[in-house]
Structure 1
Amino acid sequence: MTQPPPTDRPTTPEPPGFWDALGAAERAALRAVARPKRYAPRTPLCYQGDDSEHIVVIESGWTKVTSTSEDGRDVVLAVRGPGDLVCESAVLGRRERSATVVALTPLRALVVPASRFTGFLDAHPGMWRLVSGTFVRRLDDADRRLQAHVSAHGARRLAILLTRLADLSARHVPPDADGGVEIGPPLSQEELGSWMDASRETVARALGTLRAEGLVRTGRRKITVVDPEGLRAFARAPERSPADSFTL
């Protein structure tokens, strides 16, 4: 049976992050109630299950969002980068945090106590809509991930993920002279596998397929999308024959 094509392709450019969408007055007001902080790689910004005490605005660097499954595995749910708001859903929902956020790279951020952040939003009512829009986009991201899991396997599923990451990375670093885009978040093959619900070996084989197609170039924790449009077309192509595809 022919699988339906994934609906992962963005139809509009990546929207700006929370910080980038603020005006000068809002940025000044938020800085006034925030504490600047730096995080080393692998340092948690917040923990799954903790009570809500603060939100974090990333100024520079990348994080991964993970959740611990019932069998104790850490599952990668998303990455967040410069300008993004993290650790916020539990604060606004007044519940325990549903995920852990960990720095992938050296990180510079603004940490805002929960009460001061809600006070900032009350003083700038237009910001509530901005935060709500952030939630909606993240629900859309979750829907795209689910559709990719249903409609694609192996190399195509990885292509869908890398296309999304390339779009996100290009928001912060322009493509190189040949049009290639270096993936910003330095994710390992194991982390990519966790995100796409596959083994590290499946990711390695899928990367081999994409390299052979001339779509990506790889190094240690480094992936460059050499041909972004070609990768997007590969991600949306019908499934290949079982001999040429990798099932999970």
Structure 2
Amino acid sequence: MTQPERAALTSAGYVKVWRPGQILAMQGSPPASMFVVLRGWVKISATNYRGDDAPLAARGPAEIVGELAPISGLPRAATMSAIDEVHTLVVAREKFLGVLRAWPRIAEEFLRSAAIRLQESDRLRLESGGPDFPQRLAAVLLELSLQHSPDGDGNKQVDLHFNQGELASFARVSRSTLVRGLDELRKLGIVRTARQRVTIVRPHALRELAAGRPPSPREDRFD
């Protein structure tokens, strides 16, 4: 967006701080507002008809969440919750729609963002269906890393803000199977794990494994 477009959106809302675990908006609730993430990470999740809670994505600084429901006027299709302390710009539905009417190029950017996210979601479902689990897990992690850093250069470390249960849901496997897969990737030096986080430390090797090629050996450095 241009500076005047950003200013128009900013002036239509107000800043709110959310504590870790606090819900920004609940699945099925009225579409009262949309959010721009200024700081921190927001988890997007949804409950299916069996009552299973499945993560869909994590969104970070400068990303927009919860914008489709105010546009459609339908109840929210997912729950948005704060992973850590989150600062957001909150824009009420009527003011948001007013900005879109007054600034058509902002509406185009929102449409473009929605189309990209639909493609990401389709790719993630496709990648989670392969027969070889280490390769499948690498492909899922690679797709999630692209969602987190769409403009990254592909060689920097990427932090994925998901716990093991959430990653298991993405990969469509049990948690124990996911743990074994992550252990293999750790042994290859491709990932590092911590609470609520998986760090991809060798993105190039992850891409090779996702493509079905043996990853290049890591270069251990001794100081």
**TM-score, structure 2 as length reference:** 0.88
The match for 1:211 among 186, 198, 210 is 186
Taking the aligned partners of 1:140 and 1:173, their CA distance within structure 2 comes to: 18
Aligned-partner residue type, residue 105 of structure 2: G
> Does structure 2 conserve the Cα–Cα contact (< 8 Å) formed by 1:169 and 1:181?
no
1:181 equivalent among 150, 157, 167? 157
Residue number in structure 2 paired with 1:28: 7
**Structure 1: distance between partners of 2:189 and 2:160:** 20
Residue matched to 1:81: 60
Distance (whole Å) between structure 2 residues aligned to residue 56 and residue 103 of structure 1: 12
Q: Structure 2: how far apart are the matches of 1:205 and 1:183?
A: 20
Tell me: CA distance 1:152–1:25, structure 2 relative to 1, closer, same or farther (3 Å).
Answer: farther
Q: Provide the C-alpha distance between the structure 1 equivalents of 2:39 and 2:150, rounded to a whole number of angstroms.
A: 13
Identity %: 32
**Secondary structure of the residue that 2:129 maps to in structure 1?**
helix
Helix, strand or coil: the match of 2:17? strand
Q: Which residue of 2 aligns with 1:228?
A: 203
Q: Aligned-pair distance for 1:44?
A: 1.0
Match of 1:199?
A: 174
| Structure 2, unaligned runs of 5 or more | 215-223
- CA distance in 1 between partners of 2:213 and 2:122 (Å): 20
CA distance in 2, matches of 1:215, 1:222: 14
Question: 1:219, CA displacement in angstroms?
Answer: 2.4
- The whole-number CA distance in structure 2 between the counterparts of 1:209 and 1:57 is 37
**RCO greater where, 1 or 2, for CA within 8 Å and sep 6 or more?**
1
Q: Equivalents in 1 of 2:38, 2:98: separation in Å?
A: 21
Change in CA separation of 1:219 and 1:174 when aligned onto 2, cut-off 3 Å: farther
The residue number in structure 1 matching 2:221 is none
What is the distance in 1 between the residues matched to 2:80 and 2:175? 22
Q: Equivalents in 2 of 1:61, 1:106: separation in Å? A: 6
Indicate how the Cα distance of structure 1 residues 37 and 29 shifts in structure 2: closer, same or farther if over 3 A, else same. Answer: same
Q: For 1:204 and 1:150, how far apart are their aligned partners in 2?
A: 18
Q: How does 1:138-157 map to 2 (within 5 A)?
A: 138-157=117-136
Report deviation, 1:36: 0.4
Q: What residue in structure 2 maps to residue 41 of structure 1?
A: 20
The match for 2:104 among 120, 125, 149 is 125
Query: Given residue 202 of structure 1, which amino acid in structure 2 is its aligned partner?
Result: T
Runs of 4+ with >6 A deviation:
172-175
Which amino acid is 1:190 matched to?
G
CA contact under 8 A between 1:62 and 1:184: conserved in structure 2?
A: no
Determine the C-alpha separation between the residues in 1 that align with 2:210 and 2:151. Answer: 23
Structure 1: 5+ residue stretches without partners: 1-21, 240-248
For residue 128 of structure 2, give the secondary structure of its aligned residue in structure 1: helix
Per-residue CA deviation, residues 187-246 of structure 1 (Å, 9 max, x unaligned), is: 11011112222211111001011112221122223322121011011011079xxxxxxx
| Structure 1: distance between partners of 2:160 and 2:184 | 21
1:160 is displaced (CA, Å) by 1.5
After superposition, give the CA deviation of every residue in 1:66-115 in whole Å (9 maximum; x if it has no partner). Answer: 11011211001111111111111111111111111111111011000001
Alpha-carbon RMSD across the aligned residues, in angstroms, is 2.1
* 2:219 corresponds to: none
Residue 13 of structure 1 aligns with which residue? none
Measure, in 2, the Cα distance between the counterparts of 1:95 and 1:69: 17
Is the deviation greater in 149-158 or in 84-93? 149-158
